[in-house]
Structure 1
Amino acid sequence: MGMHAGMKSGWGAHDEPEVMIDMNTTPLIDVMLVLLIMLIITIPPQLHAVNLDMPVTSAAPPPTPPQVIRIDIDAQSVISWNGQALLDRAALQAQLAQAALLQPQPELHIRSDPQAKYEAAAAVLAGAQRQGLNKLGILGTERFGN
């Protein structure tokens, strides 16, 4: 598709070559090919493998479940150690001292009757704190909701 820039008749335009107004696309194609080659070279190769860091299994035996000591406080504020009633606070302190020596540290599950005095529960908690026992669980708290 060409366009003529002059008239053929008149003023001596017959001996001049015809002016071409079409765009030369060769340099444009060359530049596009160079850019395409650079793009292909700079793209990192796609790996079809997925790298995962899997945990290393050890042959260590599973941990043993902790020893559980039940401490019950009945309605008369009598403290029981694994079902056996303790005579006084000194017996409670002696039992807590023995429990503090065990490795791993045992769990103390404390269950109190709603009618028991707070003094008995506070004595158990304070004695456990003094001996360094920090694995405590207070059971049966749903009874105190109302």
Structure 2
Amino acid sequence: MAFTAAGKSGPLAEINVTPLVDVMLVLLIIFIVTAPMVSMPIPVNLPQPTTIVPPVAPPPPIELRVDASNQVSWNGQVVAVSSLQQRMQDAAQATTGNLPELRIATDPNAEYDVMAKVLAAANNAHMEKIAFVRP
């Protein structure tokens, strides 16, 4: 609020320094409180570097195809549906670390029963990566 002196007209042009002093006192208190914390080290358990293991190349994918005559082919070779689970387990045990990806392509005219047996064999063999691809 600006007051005028007796006989003078117009606003009084003085800066109000009270808020500035308040802010400076608050900053001074903050610096006084935090200064001892900065000078004292805080122990932190950091992770230690380890030897880097090169990534293992993923195994080649297994390509299964169910054709219109309900024959199942494993990477181009015709196999019996009953032997799929054992072949999948053997392929999973042959790789270390990464399981192979199972890519299944079916003909639109194939029976669902054959596809259900293929998926059951994959589930029983604990195949984790299953992809359905177009023939």
Q: Report the TM range for the smaller structure's normalisation.
A: 0.5 to 0.7
CA shift, 1:93, in A, is 3.1
CA deviation map 1:84-128 (0-9, x unaligned): 111x23332331231232332111100001111111111110111
Moved over 6 A (4+): none
Residue aligning to 2:131: 137
Whole-angstrom distance in 1 between the partners of 2:99 and 2:75: 16
CA deviation map 1:11-67 (0-9, x unaligned): xxxxxxxxxxxxxxxxx97x66753641452465xxxxxxxxxxx897332342243
Which has more radius of gyration? 1
Whole-angstrom distance in 1 between the partners of 2:55 and 2:92: 23
- 1:82 and 2:75 matched: yes
- Paired amino acid for 1:61: P
- The CA RMSD measured in Å over matched residues stands at 3.3
- Paired amino acid for 1:92: L
Residue aligning to 2:53: 60
Residue aligning to 1:48: none
Higher RCO, 1 vs 2 (CA within 8 Å, ≥6 residues apart) = 2
Whole-angstrom distance in 2 between the partners of 1:36 and 1:133: 65
TM-score for the superposition, normalised by structure 2: 0.60
Instruction: For residue 85 of structure 1, give the secondary structure of its aligned residue in structure 2.
Output: strand
- 1:71 and 2:67 matched: no
The count of aligned residue pairs is 105
Kindly, what percent of the aligned residue pairs are identical? Answer: 33
- Paired amino acid for 1:38: L
CA shift, 1:76, in A, is 0.5
Residue aligning to 1:41: 28
TM-score for the superposition, normalised by structure 1: 0.56
Structure 1, unmatched stretches of 5+, are 4-27, 45-55
